[in-house]
Structure 1
């Protein structure tokens, strides 16, 4: 990202909105927005580090409620929520922080929730695990503060490998949803 260009564009936007970019409250705004964009769009340059694995096996690994913040590519307004990931290892497991980084890699981009969910599942499945399930639930400010102005939340899901069959995912979905599971 070219931060100087972003600063210039933000300054021009402030002028187009009818404001004075030299006004006290707006004087540092182009710098702050350029810094913010560098942080919230860091997913374009990040590495989820999924190649770092540990020799171990498990019947199922579930990481629930990974918080994320993203930006809707249609209106450039935030959407945010939680992602839960379940996978069946194939002799190796990932550190929990690697799964959090995987979510951040895709969330910190101009994005739609459905693609983010699919991309997380695809990258994890490409590591050779037997099955992957990714569930994401989010609130979208592009819908809350404009347009239909509704507080609905959206859930999206992606299933790969073993979890593509509905009967293979019911117990894990119950764990994620805090319902009683026959696994426990």
Structure 2
């Protein structure tokens, strides 16, 4: 069976069970990488590393088992007539670059203008985590977060800004330290109204 190609910008779904390797196969792959790096996978210090790595991967890439729709399913309509910006800023996240499988980490800022209720604030942090704990690019991560907001909350507008440091630039390649990448995307009122964009930037400290 051929693996399905996931189009850019769509939610990266789990592999079908028939395509996913067993834990034993995953551990064997780690032993191969240890040997390829130049070490002896039979050495005492790395003997249990394959088991530890596969267990860690279950946590680091746990986003594949999280459903953004379920995370945003419960909303609250009794908000006392509040209809202005709801902003949660400085949401910490870490992810892994899909090109080199090394970490990138930073903060996410999410805002939306409610249309028919609001979602629990902690759900926005969980939404970021659901997409971040997958193999990613920062651009795709930004798009997935805002698309999930629009699809599940139907706000009048949404804004997402991510700022992150990429270890693929710090640890290898150009080895540029302290460099941050900023990505953002606006929809609805935020995309149409420059004043709302400026308000968002000011609230997250970008202006």
TM-score interval, normalised by the smaller of the two chains? over 0.9
Task: Indicate whether 1:12 and 2:39 are aligned.
Answer: no
Task: Indicate whether 1:145 and 2:171 are aligned.
Answer: yes
Q: 2: CA distance between counterparts of 1:54 and 1:25?
A: 52
Once the two structures are TM-superposed, the CA of residue 16 in structure 1 deviates from its matched residue by 2.1
Q: 1: CA distance between counterparts of 2:94 and 2:29?
A: 24
- The answer to whether the 8 A contact 1:122-1:160 is kept is no
Distance change (3 Å), C-alpha of 1:172 and 1:109: same
Task: Indicate whether 1:114 and 2:136 are aligned.
Answer: no
Q: 2: CA distance between counterparts of 1:3 and 1:88?
A: 44
Task: Indicate whether 1:168 and 2:196 are aligned.
Answer: yes
- SS of the residue 2:44 aligns to: coil
Equivalent residue in structure 1 for 2:61, among 41, 46, 53:
41
- The answer to whether the 8 A contact 1:68-1:82 is kept is yes
Q: 2: CA distance between counterparts of 1:77 and 1:28?
A: 21
Please identify, of 78-87 and 8-17, the stretch whose mean Cα deviation from structure 2 is larger: 8-17
Q: 2: CA distance between counterparts of 1:178 and 1:158?
A: 14
TM-score by length of 1: 0.92
Task: Indicate whether 1:53 and 2:75 are aligned.
Answer: yes
TM-score by length of 2: 0.82
**Structure with greater proportional strand content:** 1
Q: Which runs of 5+ in 1 are unaligned?
A: 180-184
Task: Indicate whether 1:25 and 2:45 are aligned.
Answer: yes
What residue is the counterpart of 1:88 in the other structure? 113
CA RMSD of aligned residues (A): 1.4
Q: 2: CA distance between counterparts of 1:5 and 1:93?
A: 44
What residue is the counterpart of 1:182 in the other structure? none
- Name the count of aligned residue pairs: 179
Q: 1: CA distance between counterparts of 2:60 and 2:189?
A: 33
- The answer to whether the 8 A contact 1:41-1:110 is kept is yes
Q: 1: CA distance between counterparts of 2:29 and 2:126?
A: 30
- The answer to whether the 8 A contact 1:65-1:83 is kept is yes
Q: 2: CA distance between counterparts of 1:172 and 1:103?
A: 18
Q: Which runs of 5+ in 2 are unaligned?
A: 1-19
Q: 1: CA distance between counterparts of 2:98 and 2:206?
A: 32
Once the two structures are TM-superposed, the CA of residue 145 in structure 1 deviates from its matched residue by 1.1
